[in-house]
Amino acid sequence: MFKHLLPKATSRPLLRPASNTFRASPSTFYLVDRSQYRRGYATEAEEKDLVIIGGGVAGYVAAIKAGQAGLKVACIEKRGTLGGTCLNVGCIPSKSLLNNSHLYHQILHDTKNRGIDVEGVKLNLEQMMKAKDTSVAGLTKGVEFLFKKNNVEYIKGTGAFADEHTIAVNLIDGGETSVRGKNIIIATGSEATPFPGLNIDEKKVVTSTGAIAMTKVPKKMVVIGGGIIGLEMGSVWSRLGAEVTVVEFLGQIGGPGMDAEISKAIQKTLQKQGMKFKLNTKVMSGDDSGESVKIAVEAAKGGKEETLDADVVLVAIGRRPYTAGLGLENIGLETDNRGRLVIDQEYRTKLPHIRVIGDCTFGPMLAHKAEEEAVAAIEYITKNYGHVNYGAIPSVMYTHPEVAWVGQNEAELKEAGIKYKVGSFPFTANSRAKTNLDTEGMVKFLCDAETDRILGIHIMGPNAGEMIAEGTLALEYGASAEDVARTCHAHPTLAEAFKEAAMATYDKAVHY
């Protein structure tokens, strides 16, 4: 029945793509009382159709899809809860804090004009953190339920390759076991990149993990790195009362994927909200030996050194693949110069039955990209085909207003020598945004100058993260700006700004 599960010989060369290519007998336990550990854990005697190392977004989605396909699956996760960084200490808890800190900030500063008089507003940070933790707990338990529903064996422990088909596991509750797999997927994710010279204690010097768990609002906070994580977490603590300064080596915030025009616009908005920025600035050193942290900075091109003083420093200079302790040397697998496992177009390593998905291989480190790769990898195993369009992976920054984009930005199109046209529409001219008193931002289309095919869509504004789904679908199906403009959008909605931007690209907008 599962002939297709057997490893296939391949002469396909391993790929090292550029940034915009594809990203894709009974058990023996060393315990006195072994009976309590036998139930629910894989045994040496049973070979699984698929073993997955890592229960984060990539791993757990792959496990569920494999279970749905009828495969015998085991998933190994050392955290003790499923969902990985995203669900436990990343995407989900940060969005809870972003949403609730925005509500708090809005009540403090944006109610009088709405006819709402509020007095005695106080921040209960402990309760805000409890609300975050409740959301996380509910979702992680939900993933465990889906494992049971789809007959996925959940092994709580740290896995490492003993040989090409065997994973040895140190169990969280003590003892050891091993599990064999016809197929193996590595989905071990990524970790925050440390900054040389700063000791991350998740108290004074924090990564995103510490930034979502602080017990008091710092007076001064320095964020090293003006990418999405730094800006999101910086905006949370800025709203709650901290004086936040963002230090960024590049000349714009938001990272290289964000369109330059949008980047400048969101920077102005965040500055109005109280955040400070030092662009084209490099961090020279840091001293965390005292009660506060001192950060020495200077202009990226050289100049006078300046010292910033902070109660908390957030290190947000990116993430790096996490493959430590996997025992890759035992099976001859190597990583590239950026720590990524090398794979081919079907996510296979040089050992074709071992595949890699998510943050520990090529492509943007995004949870939804990892999910898409998980589904495709299982399809390759069970059907011999799969699909991920790496040109249509959306990005979202959940500040307020939100910023979202999909496809190429202007700088990328210019570099590629592609002739394009631009159409945009501001939310100040959108009826729903005006009635909501929330008009910061715009929708921007980039289309091929000759064919009108959509090449990129960039949004800064309310609900941008939801609206970008329409742009991603349009890009996926090769739509033109005219296709979108001639599609009826409900009135009054924010999405009408999307339609009008499309109209402005191929013809003229009506309401601006």
Residues designated as active site? 491
| Pairwise CA distance, residues 62 & 403, whole Å | 29
What is the DSSP code (8-state) at residue 483?
H
Check if the beta carbon of residue 24 is closer than 8 Å to that of residue 345: yes
Q: Which backbone phi and psi does 98 adopt, to 5 degrees?
A: -60, -45
What percent of the chain is helix, strand and coil (3-state, nearest 5)?
35, 25, 40
Residue 266, both tokens? 């969101």
Neighbours of 161 (CB within 10 A): 22
Query: Can you tell me whether residue 126 is helix, strand or coil?
Result: helix
Nearest in space to 354 (alpha carbons), one of 388, 323, 390 = 323
Q: Are 162 and 178 in contact (CB under 8 A)?
A: yes
Quick count: other Cβ atoms within 10 Å of Cβ 86?
A: 23
Q: Which of 256, 467, 438, 455 is nearest to 364 (CA)?
A: 256
Unique residue bearing structure tokens 């933790």 = 133
The 8-class DSSP code of residue 287 comes to: E
DSSP for 210-274 reads HHTS-SS--SEEEEE--SHHHHHHHHHHHHTT-EEEEE-SSSSSS-TTS-HHHHHHHHHHHHHTT
Q: How far apart are CA 155 and CA 323, in angstroms?
A: 18
Q: How far apart are CA 408 and CA 16, in angstroms?
A: 21
Distance CA 465, CA 472 (A): 11
Contact between residue 200 and residue 194 where contact means Cβ atoms under 8 Å apart: yes
Query: 48 in helix, strand or coil?
Result: strand
Q: Is 248:279 a contact under the CB 8 Å cutoff?
A: yes
Distance CA 218, CA 305 (A): 24
